[in-house]
Each structure stands twice: as C-alpha cells, then as structure tokens.
Amino acid sequence: MKNKYNINHVAIIMDGNGRWAQQRGHKRTFGHEHGVEAVHSVVEGAGEMYIPYLTLYAFSTENWNRPKEEIDVLMRLISKAIADELDNLMANNVRVLTTGRIEELPRESREDLERVIETTRNNTGLTLVIALSYSGRSELVDTAKKIAKQAADGLLNPDDISESTIQNNLYHPEIPDVDLMIRTGGDLRVSNFLLWEIAYAELFFSPILWPDFRKEHLREILEQFTSRERRFGKTGEQVRAH
C-alpha cells in the first residue's frame, strides 16, 4: 500500500451533472462540460494522495437510453477531454485504462481513447480507469461467457470453478478490489457499478453535485475512511488483535 489511507482502489459514481445544469437554467450537457473540471481536480488529487487505482463511472450501459443528442455530446466530451489532457496525464505519470463494452463506442471516441491508453501505458503513478458502456451485470455476463467457452473447449472442469476463476475472467483481473466507493449527487444507490469488485468496499455518499466536487472533498472522504473499521466478516476483536 503506497498511501497513508491504506487504499488500493477508489471508485466514483459521478452523479448530478444534469441537476447542476438545470439549477442554472442550462441544458444537461452544460453540466457534463463542467463535470470535466471535477474530473481534472480529482485525478490530480488522487495522484497527489498516492492512490494506485481510480475508476470513474463515465457512461453506463443504461445511459444508451438517454436522448441521442445527450449521448453524442457525452461521447465526444469524454474522449476529447481525455485526449486534451494527454500532456497533463504524461506530466503526472498517470496511466489510463478503460473498462466496459468499449466496442460499442463510436469509432472516433475509441480511437482517441486507444491513443491515450497506448501513450500512457508505461506510466507508473495513478492508474485511471474510465468505465464506458459499462455495467456490473454486463461485466459478469461477459465473464460467464468466457468461462463457459473454456469449459466447452474442455479447458476447465465446471466443478473447479471458484471465486478466482471469476476474478481471473473479469475485464481487468489485475485490478484490486474497490476499497472505497463514492457517489456524488445525493442518491443512495450503487447503480450497477463494479458489482463483483465492491464486495467489501466502504460506501460514501456525498450530497455535492459532481461539477462542484474537488480533490479537497476527496481528501475529506479519505480521512473519514481511515476511521472506519473494515472487518471483512470477522469480529471487531479479531480485527483489532492484528
């Protein structure tokens, strides 16, 4: 563990962009544009706090049901924001990955993202994972398909399937479990995000709408996280004895 918070992986559901814009009399997409400033601040903060992995929920599989205009703006905004940040990501030693059904994204967005992934692949600081066309259930469906194919090909006996078989067939088996999941925007929901990976995560809900969220808010939540006792099914006495 590289940081004083004992954290490997923070995941954030960036919620509240639409409401932030509507409160100001603007279209929802105005909120997404300002959400980019919050992403910038939080990525910078996570690096400064030596967090190894940060996963951001940028676009869920359910988001494909939004009006086409909003989808188009979001797709362009997300890939462009990341591509525009390339120099900054390199300067901060950030490695970028994506997770989700990336093949469903428009070709232009995919190409922008692939360029950033390729350019940053040897960076050794924060790993920033952008969840795009992602849902926890579809990740588990895709995982089940991979495992079923191995069994059908005679490479795996179904009786040997264990938790590690599932872990090893996720989109990113190498990424550690989520320690802390944050949702902004005031709703108390998990919304199909990283369902397998959050099994033992601590959950924090912030009333702040995403465009107003900054690294100072992340720091405050990390400070609170350190005072929670994580028992992983054990008793408090057992945990404190170690």
- 32 vs 215 by CB, closer to ligand FPP: 32
Out of 63, 84, 142, 192, the active site residue is 63
Q: Closest distance between ligand FPP and the C-beta of residue 15, in Å?
A: 5
- 15 vs 169 by CB, closer to ligand FPP: 15
Q: Closest distance between ligand FPP and the C-beta of residue 170, in Å?
A: 20
Interface residues toward ligand FPP, by CB under 6 A = 14-19, 28, 32, 35-36, 39, 56, 58, 63, 74, 77-78, 81-82, 130, 185, 210
Q: Closest distance between ligand FPP and the C-beta of residue 82, in Å?
A: 5
Out of 3, 6, 8, 15, the active site residue is 15
Element of type H or E holding 60? strand 53-60
List own/partner pairs for 74-80 with CB under 8 A and 24 or more apart.
74/29, 74/32, 75/105, 75/106, 75/109, 76/108, 76/109, 77/29, 77/32, 77/33, 77/36, 78/109, 78/130, 78/132, 79/105, 79/108, 79/109, 79/110, 79/112, 79/113, 80/112
Active site residue 63: yes
- 158 vs 186 by CB, closer to ligand FPP: 186
- 17 vs 169 by CB, closer to ligand FPP: 17
CA distance 169 to 28: 36
Kindly list the catalytic residues.
Answer: 15, 63
